[in-house]
Each structure stands twice: as C-alpha cells, then as structure tokens.
C-alpha cells in the first residue's frame, strides 16, 4: 500500500508540472492557506520559531509571516514537478541564476557550495546542475519509503550530476567528492542533533550547528561559495544568487588545520540571519531549529 501511495504521489507531481507555471504557483498559495488551519503541530513550531527569532515583532506580525510561510512551503513542494520534469528550456525561463557562477564551477579549485534551507533550495540545486560545465554533487536526506527515495535521487540527478550523497554517509562521502575535484552542494543549517554539531548563536539563541562546512573546506582546501535561493513574486520563478567566495574561511593555523571553528560557524550563522531578514517568510520555520539544547536547558518547544 505504501508503495502504491508513493507512486500515486509521484504521478500527481508529474501531472502538476504540465500546468502553466502561474496557475501552479496560485495552486500552491491556495494549498498553503488550507494547510494553515490543518497542520496544527507545524503551525505551532513555526510561530514558536518566529517568536524566538523575532521577539521585537508583534504577535500579529509573526502570525502574518507564518501564514505566508505556509504558502511558500506548499509552493516549494508542488513546484518540484517543474524542477524535476520540465524541459531545460522551460527551466531557463524560470531559474534566474547570477553571481560568480562560472568561477564557482570551473574546476580550477575544489569548491564547496553552501546552500541554506530557504524554501526554494531545490531550485538552487537544479539551476546549478543545469548550467554546470562539469558534473557536480549534492547532499540529500534519505526518505523512509524506498520508492520515494529512489525517485528523489533520480530526479535530483537529471542534469550534470556526479553523485547524490546521503546525509547518512557523513562528511566522508562529501569529502571524497570534493577531493575528486567535484563541486559539492551541501546544506549545513538544520538541527540534526549533537553529533558533529556545536552550539552557536542563531538569532541570539544557542543552536546546534553542524561543523561540516569549515571542516570540509579545510580538509579539501576548498573555496566556499554561499548560495541563496528566493521564490520570486508574481510567478516569476526563482532567483538563485551565488555569493562571492568567502575569504579566510575557514580560519586556518600554520599547519592548514581549522583554527577557530566556532568563529567560522558564527560567521556562517550571521550570514544566514542577514538573508533571513530579507525574506523571513521563506526560511524553513516548520523545522525545530532549536530542538537540541545544551545540557540542563529546557526544551524550546
């Protein structure tokens, strides 16, 4: 039964990609409005995250942003059909990629691409793999359903892809790709527990922050490019901006080893905060970003 439901879901996503994009975007907004009263648990998590990160906002403002967030969550899910099945010609009209893209993907140096959990993140990966002059690799979280898992890997591998590395393979799987000269796209800003994480302030609150970015960059002597994706208004598609490579990231000692990982992670989190403030409704607030707490601290949720 689970396999059948998975195949029906895949068929639905495929059918949706046939719709005109403005209609699909409008459908996503409508689904988001329907989900708001139905998804009580995720609604509470979203409002709590906004309360923690934006205490200066009024409850009405947080509620307004949270409702908008649900429309972006729904749009991102439904529009995967376009990202995963539309023709390259159609995608080029919707994916507006800018920044030092050629420099990041030219293969002259090992390259770590830092994506973040804005709702348009799948568009970022699709855009990069579509234009890449050489194969790129990325990370994904395995799905419990094997049918869905195989589908996700296949769809994310449709363009110039060397490998889609499971998060369960850890840093070793990512490092193999980097050392082979393959640009690697990873997302280091979720709470996956204490393993390979440090408590670094995010909007002033200690948050379990993966230390993978500075460690990988140091081990592979890789330059680091932040990549931020924004869902554009008026059904204009997605803006994917590759930021210039960070200088002196990570900080290294005389032996070329990480010298101050906490400082590197603070820099990364400050960058994410700056981007979140430009589009607060598009960050992935339905995730319990502050689930893991330092010793003897109570749950935030």
- What residues contact 89, with CB distance under 8 A and at least 6 apart? none
Residue 299 belongs to a domain:
no
Helix (H, G, I), strand (E, B) or coil at 84: helix
- Domain of residue 139: give its range: 2-282
Over the stretch 59-109, which tens digit does the pLDDT of each residue have? 999 999 999 999 999 999 999 999 999 999 999 999 999 999 999 999 889
Tell me the Ramachandran region of residue 181: left when phi exceeds 0, alpha when psi lies from -120 to 50, beta otherwise. left
- As a whole number of angstroms, the distance between CA 109 and CA 183 comes to 9
Q: What is the pLDDT of residue 117?
A: 96
pTM across the whole model: 0.95
Q: Please check the confidence at residue 3 and state whether its pLDDT lies above 90.
A: no
Query: Cα 119–123–127 angle (5° rounding)?
Result: 155
Backbone angles phi, psi at 180, to 5 degrees: -85, 5
Flag whether 276 is in a domain.
yes
> Does the pLDDT at position 4 exceed 90?
no
Task: List the one residue out of 222, 225, 247, 248 whose CA is nearest residue 110.
Answer: 222
User: Residue 256: which pLDDT band, with cuts at 50, 70 and 90?
Assistant: confident
Query: Does some domain include residue 199?
Result: yes
What is the tens place of the pLDDT at every residue in 172-217? 889 999 999 999 999 999 999 998 899 999 999 999 999 999 999 9
pLDDT in tens, 37-57: 999 999 999 999 999 999 999
The pair of structure tokens assigned to 223 is: 């330059």
Length of the chain: 301
- How many structural domains does the chain have? 1
Angle, helix 2-16 to helix 146-156, in steps of 10 degrees: 30
195 vs 275: which has the higher pLDDT:
275
pLDDT over 80 at 2, yes or no: no
Question: Alpha-carbon distance 174 to 185, whole Å?
Answer: 9
Collect contacts of 46-52 with beta carbons under 8 A, ≥24 apart. Answer: 46/70, 46/285, 46/286, 48/300, 48/301, 49/285, 49/288, 49/289, 49/290, 50/280, 50/285, 52/203, 52/205, 52/290, 52/300
């Amino acid at each position: 039964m689970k396999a059948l439901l998975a195949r029906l879901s895949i068929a639905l996503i495929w059918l949706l990609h046939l719709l005109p994009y403005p209609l699909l975007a409008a459908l996503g907004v409508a689904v988001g409005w329907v989900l708001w009263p139905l998804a009580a648990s995720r609604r509470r998590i979203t409002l709590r995250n906004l309360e923690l990160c934006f205490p200066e906002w009024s409850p009405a403002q947080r509620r307004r942003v949270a409702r908008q967030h649900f429309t972006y969550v729904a749009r991102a899910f439904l529009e995967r059909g376009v990202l995963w099945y539309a023709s390259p010609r159609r995608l080029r009209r919707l994916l507006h990629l800018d920044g030092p893209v050629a420099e990041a993907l030219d293969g002259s140096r090992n390259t770590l691409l830092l994506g973040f959990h804005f709702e348009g993140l799948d568009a970022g990966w699709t855009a990069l793999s579509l234009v890449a002059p050489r194969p790129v690799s990325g990370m994904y979280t395995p799905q419990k359903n094997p049918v869905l898992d195989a589908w996700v890997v296949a769809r994310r591998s449709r363009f110039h892809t060397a490998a889609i590395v499971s998060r369960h393979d850890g840093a070793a799987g990512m490092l193999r790709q980097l050392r082979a000269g393959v640009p690697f796209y990873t997302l280091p800003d979720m709470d996956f527990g204490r393993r390979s994480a440090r408590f670094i302030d995010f909007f002033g609150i200690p948050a379990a922050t993966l230390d993978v970015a500075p460690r990988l960059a140091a081990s592979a002597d890789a330059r680091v490019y932040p990549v931020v994706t924004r869902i554009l208004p008026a059904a204009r598609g997605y803006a994917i901006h590759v930021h210039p490579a960070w200088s002196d990231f990570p900080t290294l000692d005389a032996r070329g080893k990480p010298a101050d990982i906490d400082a590197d992670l603070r820099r990364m989190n400050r960058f994410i905060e700056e981007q979140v403030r430009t589009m607060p409704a598009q960050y992935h607030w339905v995730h319990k970003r502050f689930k893991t707490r330092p010793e003897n601290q109570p749950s935030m949720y």
